[in-house]
Structure 1
Amino acid sequence: MILIAESDSTKTEWVLIEQDDLVQQSSTEGINPLIQTRKEISRSIRLNLPPVFFRRRLKQVYYYGTGCISAKEKDKVMTSFRAQFKSPVHIESNLLAAAHGLFKNKTGIACMLDADSASCFYDGKTIVKSVRSVGYILGDEGSSVTLGKLFLSDILNGLSPQRLTRDFYEKFHIKGDDIIQSVYNHSSPPNSFLVSVSNFLTGYTDDEYVFNLLVNNLRNFFTRSILQYDYKNYPVRFAGSAAYNWSAILKDVGRKFGVNIDRIEKSPMNGLIEYYAQNMNER
């Protein structure tokens, strides 16, 4: 039996797999070694994951996560996971999860658009070239976090429509000064609040202001994260809640760049399960 986990900063998906069968599935809060200590990661796993995940004898744990960009961060996660599951642990970025889930053993351009954003050229085995997630402060163009950040900036600078601003304050039960507190001094990760703001905007995509905000956010992603690849000769696919929720607009923006998107998945997990079923004998 193996355990597969895929995480961004706001949520983690877990599945137990026996041969080709899905034994157990769960979802918990996100894991990010860039902003969490080893003890915080271990505590999050132990308190939120159902007990059945700790009772099974595991051949291997495969973890794909945001923030796993250096040996230091990977070691932090590996130490936490080994302590909790008492099994061998393999750590990779969640961008590779998108590549494995979207393409299995085939070649293509895999894009991740969720709380974070990233893209890569995948040769069917490994990531050959990538535009990685650098976090919402330095980048993550196209992501739900960036959309939320852009909207909040407009609210605070009086640039958002009055009706939308009023609906936002009523929905979140906050005032202008509370926005800054929620982003910078809130007890939960600030990107969680920004994702919730983006989810709020998803219900207003027929509003011209929101539509343009979303389109410009996505255009920035294509410019910085797709156009540098040979996108005319390889399939382009997306994984992530943001990509899934905005799929029609995303495809339309892509067409205007000459990019044909042939697949969008809300999560790479189903594809990951298929990937490991196909490659289990090699592992």
Structure 2
Amino acid sequence: MIVVVDSGSTKADWKMVNSKGVQTISTMGFNPVFHSENKIYQELQEAFDDGVKPDEATQVFYYGAGCWDEKLKGVVNNALTRIFNNADIEVEHDLLGAARATCGREPGISCILGTGSNSCLYDGNDVTDNVTNLGYLLGDEGSGTHLGKSLIRAYFYRELSPGLKKKLEEAYPGGKQAMLDQIYGKETPNVYLASFTKFMSQNIHHPFIQSLLYNSFAEFIDRHARKYRNHLSLPIHFIGSIAFYFQDVIRVVLEERAMTPGNFIQKPIDDLVSFHTNN
């Protein structure tokens, strides 16, 4: 049995593939920056019911947030070894997962646009370059968090039309103080900021929303994707809900810069399964 895992910090998708078919499981996400080996092990013990037979696994391919060096990869690897004790285990950063899911064995530029954002240059085997991701305080251009910030700033700075302002206040009752409390008084302001993309999706044809989306994606492309060698000749691939649902705007940004749009994938797990079962 082959096990393929795509894990963010909040949710993980698991696919267990054998001759009988594919079993799909969802668990909490794990990030070794925040979660210890014992925490990961205990959560998996509880999450896997009698229908999961880890002893049958021969290979485990895990792609996760926070797995960017050998020490952090080791935290996850040790926990997985205690569960899948007969398997060869490979733990990699989620950027390599994004690259393998979108590019397969071909060179390309792979971008993640979800709650946060990231990108990399991929040579068909490994990630060879990565423009630094500064997180939601200083970066995350093109992400749900970045878009939410832009919309909220426009609301507070009185830049929304009366009609759009009314719609926003109806969608988010409580007014400005409730927004500020969520942003500055809660533990996950980035998730709250990203939640405003639902409103933007519902009002995507409004000229102001179109402009806001365009500017955010243009900033991401200019500050990240265009910094990579051969960016004009390589396809630019995307993973994540923001990229998937707003891909029409992203395509315009790329085409205006003579760049080639590639694949737009909401979740990488199925493509990662294909990558590992076909290679």
Band the TM-score falls in, shorter-chain normalisation: 0.7 to 0.9
Question: CA, structure 1 residues 260+132, in 2 after alignment: closer, same or farther (shift >3 Å)?
Answer: same
Secondary structure at the counterpart of residue 179 of structure 1: helix
1: distance between equivalents of 2:168 and 2:78?
41
Q: Which residue of 2 aligns with 1:171?
A: 171
Question: CA, structure 1 residues 53+104, in 2 after alignment: closer, same or farther (shift >3 Å)?
Answer: farther
Amino acid of the residue matched to residue 69 of structure 1? W
How far did residue 243 of structure 1 move?
Answer: 0.9
Stretches of structure 2 that go unaligned for 5 or more consecutive residues are none
Matched-pair contact (CA < 8 Å) for 1:15–1:22? no
Counting only pairs closer than 5 Å after superposition, residues 260-275 of structure 1 correspond to structure 2 as: 260-275=260-275
For structure 1, which segment, 268-277 or 4-13, has the greater mean C-alpha deviation from structure 2 after superposition? 4-13
Q: Which residue of 2 aligns with 1:56?
A: 54
How far did residue 37 of structure 1 move?
Answer: 5.1
Q: Which residue of 2 aligns with 1:215?
A: 214
For structure 1, which segment, 116-125 or 173-182, has the greater mean C-alpha deviation from structure 2 after superposition? 173-182
Counting only pairs closer than 5 Å after superposition, residues 179-198 of structure 1 correspond to structure 2 as: 179-186=179-186, 189-198=188-197
Tell me the TM-score normalized by structure 2.
0.86
Tell me the TM-score normalized by structure 1.
0.85
Q: CA RMSD in A?
A: 2.6
Matched-pair contact (CA < 8 Å) for 2:121–2:128? yes
Question: CA, structure 1 residues 231+98, in 2 after alignment: closer, same or farther (shift >3 Å)?
Answer: same
2: distance between equivalents of 1:67 and 1:90?
15
How far did residue 84 of structure 1 move?
Answer: 4.7
Secondary structure at the counterpart of residue 231 of structure 1: coil
How far did residue 253 of structure 1 move?
Answer: 0.8
1: distance between equivalents of 2:13 and 2:112?
15
For structure 1, which segment, 250-259 or 172-181, has the greater mean C-alpha deviation from structure 2 after superposition? 172-181
Secondary structure at the counterpart of residue 227 of structure 1: helix
Q: Which residue of 2 aligns with 1:25?
A: 24
Stretches of structure 1 that go unaligned for 5 or more consecutive residues are none
How far did residue 190 of structure 1 move?
Answer: 2.9
How many residues end up aligned between the 2 structures?
276
> Could you tell me the percent identity over the aligned residues?
28
Q: Deviations over 1:195-215 (max 9, x none)?
A: 222222111111122111111
Matched-pair contact (CA < 8 Å) for 1:4–1:14? yes
How far did residue 115 of structure 1 move?
Answer: 1.8
1: distance between equivalents of 2:8 and 2:189?
13
Matched-pair contact (CA < 8 Å) for 1:8–1:115? no
Counting only pairs closer than 5 Å after superposition, residues 59-208 of structure 1 correspond to structure 2 as: 59-86=58-85, 88-186=88-186, 189-208=188-207
2: distance between equivalents of 1:139 and 1:107?
26
